[in-house]
Amino acid sequence: ATEGSQVSLAARTRGGMANAGGEAKQGGKPSVIVICGPSGVGKGTLLKRLLDDYPSDVGLSVSVTTRQPRPGEVDGVHYNFMNLDDARALVSAGGFLEHAEVHGNLYGTSRGAVETVNASGRTCVLEIDWQGAQQVKQSGLSAMFVAIAPPSLEELERRLRARGTETEAAILKRLHNAKQEVAAQSTPDFWDAVVVNDTLDEAYAELKRQIAIRVDLVLTTALANSKLKKLGPTADATAVAYLELDASDLQVRNVNVLRSFSQLQSVDLSHNRLADLGSISPLSSLLHLSVAHNQLAGAPLSSLPTSLTNLDASYNEIDSVAGIGTLSRLQILSLSHNSISKVEGLQRLSCLAFLDIGFNKLAGTPPLELPLSLRELNLASNEIESLRLMPDELPTLRNIDVSVNKLSDAAGFERCPALAIATLAHNRICAVSALQPLEALRCLLALDLSGNDVTTIADYRLHTLYPLLLHGVNVGTLDCMPTTTEEKVAAFNLYGHSVAELQDIRLRHFPDPNAEQARLALESAAVSVQSSFRGAAERRTERAATASAVAIQAHARGKHARNACDAMNSIGGVCPPTS
């Protein structure tokens, strides 16, 4: 490994050097950023990346040295090389902001070089040693001081020897000076930040973070171009362009350059220092946007392009979702870790399936204006006391997390008929009766009540399972533990019906074969009895009909005989005797 070999970092805080968050001390924009560290620690590689990425924000002052150029070094670029006599003359004339003799050679920074960089609107970066840093401190110039430290002196020695450019004597001398430099990095109240290097990417990320506290870094066209990926057709299919931008963790405050990247469909601006999103509004093809871990406050979401389907604005200071209703195509919305106290206007997001609004400031019984399309909802870690003001129905909601709130019951859950997963852990639920609304959730598979007082009652699991099972809610997991068949049987045995009721239920669902045969025999006997009754009735009817017919016939015969007698009398005959 060379001086620029892989180095990593852990930001250290010593005395008043950094605040509680590990960031450098606050102050105005400095004229100078002083970077110090022993030879071989990786200063050169870190500074090259910084200057390449932010050429409009920082500029390097070219130091003066009297040592001989190393292979590849260019006069006026890496150093201003001059002889020792000329350098000493410049010192005498007061032309140096700082200077020192190191390893027998003179190094220094001219005041004119710093003024030239500042005149261009940039902060001047000085790569100097401990002696020079002390002189800059004493000059009264507005400056930020950052120390780059090795993970250990043993690792530093390994890197110096790996260079292959130094004699043994030179290496020993550098190691001697390095011990002094590392010791100086413990000086109280001197350094704004100390970065301990171990891997290059982590070290560079921390260096940017510390500098961005004092300097407003800007996303340049060149830096943006270097972060583009995924070549493909534009939204209107008229051209081929890069569609994705990963500009995360650049620590920039200004992204105005993105106005000219109208083809972008996915942009990651997380872990920056953005305070507004006005530069994003012209991106009319944008589908996915991440602005998590920025400095957004107020109601910054109203100006976003309406084409968005996925938005992550978590870890900011947003306190209002006003205007978000215009993003009618949103399917995924992450707003966790903000300062939101009201959920208003979201019912207009008719495509929204996932909403994360955990770790906010929802309190009491907040009105929740939510869309009917929701499938997953996270309200964890707020101060919600009741969900009674949920929408009348959330027909497609499958997963809800309201853990770490102040709920005392499950009111409102009955409006989510498709709910499969309900997380109510760490609330204030004390009684099983408070869970009654869950009895309407026939699709419920997993229920988490851990951390509630209800879990401390005797036979809590059985007592909780029984009313759910009774209403057809077959919960498979309770408090992240599977519910067993034995538990379900035990729940009914302990809290269920009387013996007679259980027998009745059993016979309804599992009829006794012998009982069925007895029922059939009884039905057969009943049929026989009915048949006997029908036969007797028919015989009585038949006898009555026969008697009636005989009487009618007799009456008819008598009348016929009388008529014949009358006829005989009319002609003087003799009537026959009647029978």
Q: Is the pLDDT of residue 204 over 70?
A: yes
Active-site residue list = 70, 163, 174
Q: How far apart are CA 155 and CA 219, in angstroms?
A: 35
- Cβ atoms of 46 and 231 closer than 8 Å: no
315, 317, 323, 325 alpha-carbon torsion, rounded to 10°: 30
Q: Which tokens hold the place of 29?
A: 């924009």
Among residues 5, 8, 42, the alpha carbon closest in space to that of 151 is found at 8
Among residues 156, 132, 180, 181, the alpha carbon closest in space to that of 34 is found at 132
DSSP letter string, 66-106: -SPPPTT--BTTTBEE--HHHHHHHHHTT-EEEEEEETTEE
- What is the average pLDDT score of the chain? 85
Query: Which are the contacts of 339, defined by CB distance < 8 A and separation ≥ 6?
Result: 317, 318, 319, 360, 361
Percentage of residues in the chain having pLDDT higher than 90: 53
Buried b / exposed e over 405-421, threshold 16 CB at 10 Å, is bebbbbbbbbbbbbbbb
For β-strands 266-268 and 288-290, DSSP reports them as parallel
- The per-residue pLDDT for 528 is 74
User: What are residue 106's DSSP bridge partners?
Assistant: 101
Q: Is the pLDDT of residue 8 over 50?
A: no
Q: Which amino acid is at 404?
A: V
- The per-residue pLDDT for 502 is 63
Mean pLDDT of 190-200: 89
| Stretch (H or E) spanning 28 | none
| Res. 179 pLDDT band, cuts 50 70 90 | confident
User: What are residue 32's DSSP bridge partners?
Assistant: 124, 143
Q: How far apart are CA 306 and CA 324, in angstroms?
A: 9
Residue predicted with more confidence, 65 or 333: 333
Q: How far apart are CA 343 and CA 349, in angstroms?
A: 12
- The per-residue pLDDT for 20 is 30
The residue written with tokens 């003024």 in the block is 115
Give CA separation, 190 vs 32, 134, 147, 441, 565, in Å: 15, 9, 10, 63, 161
- The per-residue pLDDT for 1 is 31
Query: Which residue blocks in 98-167 are alpha helix, DSSP H?
Result: 111-119, 130-139, 153-163
According to DSSP, residue 430 is labeled -
User: What are residue 60's DSSP bridge partners?
Assistant: 125
- Cβ atoms of 450 and 425 closer than 8 Å: yes
Q: How far apart are CA 572 and CA 383, in angstroms?
A: 129
Q: How far apart are CA 461 and CA 438, in angstroms?
A: 15
Q: Global pTM?
A: 0.76
- The per-residue pLDDT for 497 is 63
Mean pLDDT of 37-45: 85
- Cβ atoms of 171 and 74 closer than 8 Å: no
- The per-residue pLDDT for 540 is 73
Q: Name the least confident of 104-113, 166-175, 236-245, 395-404.
A: 166-175
Mean pLDDT of 124-129: 89
For β-strands 399-401 and 376-378, DSSP reports them as parallel
Q: Is the pLDDT of residue 380 over 50?
A: yes
- Cβ atoms of 464 and 499 closer than 8 Å: no
- The per-residue pLDDT for 543 is 74
- What is the phi-psi region of residue 578: left when phi exceeds 0, alpha when psi lies from -120 to 50, beta otherwise? beta
Mean pLDDT of 399-407: 98
Domains and CATH numbers, the chain: 10-215 (3.40.50.300), 218-505 (3.80.10.10)
- Cβ atoms of 452 and 425 closer than 8 Å: yes
| Res. 125 pLDDT band, cuts 50 70 90 | very high
| Stretch (H or E) spanning 473 | none
| Stretch (H or E) spanning 488 | helix 485-495
| Stretch (H or E) spanning 501 | helix 499-509
For residue 131, give the 3-state DSSP assignment.
Answer: helix
- Cβ atoms of 221 and 210 closer than 8 Å: no
Q: Which tokens hold the place of 8?
A: 């990593």
Q: Which tokens hold the place of 333?
A: 């919305």
Residue 54 C-alpha from the chain's centroid: 31
**What is the tens place of the pLDDT at every residue in 418-459?**
999 999 999 999 999 999 999 999 999 999 999 999 999 999
| Res. 176 pLDDT band, cuts 50 70 90 | confident
Q: Name the least confident of 15-29, 321-335, 475-489.
A: 15-29
| Res. 170 pLDDT band, cuts 50 70 90 | confident
Give CA separation, 504 vs 172, 467, 485, in Å: 95, 19, 21
What's the distance, Cα to Cα, between the start and end of the chain in Å? Answer: 152
User: What are residue 254's DSSP bridge partners?
Assistant: 218
**What is the tens place of the pLDDT at every residue in 85-107?**
888 888 888 888 888 777 778 88
- Cβ atoms of 295 and 317 closer than 8 Å: yes
- The per-residue pLDDT for 33 is 94
| Res. 29 pLDDT band, cuts 50 70 90 | confident
For residue 462, give the 3-state DSSP assignment.
Answer: helix
- The per-residue pLDDT for 18 is 37
- The per-residue pLDDT for 9 is 32
Q: How far apart are CA 84 and CA 101, in angstroms?
A: 10
Among residues 159, 186, 180, the alpha carbon closest in space to that of 171 is found at 159
Q: Which tokens hold the place of 481?
A: 């533990």
Beta strands in 113-265 (DSSP E): 123-127, 143-149, 193-196, 217-218, 228-233, 240-246, 252-254
- What is the phi-psi region of residue 115: left when phi exceeds 0, alpha when psi lies from -120 to 50, beta otherwise? alpha
For β-strands 105-110 and 96-102, DSSP reports them as antiparallel
Q: Is the pLDDT of residue 279 over 50?
A: yes
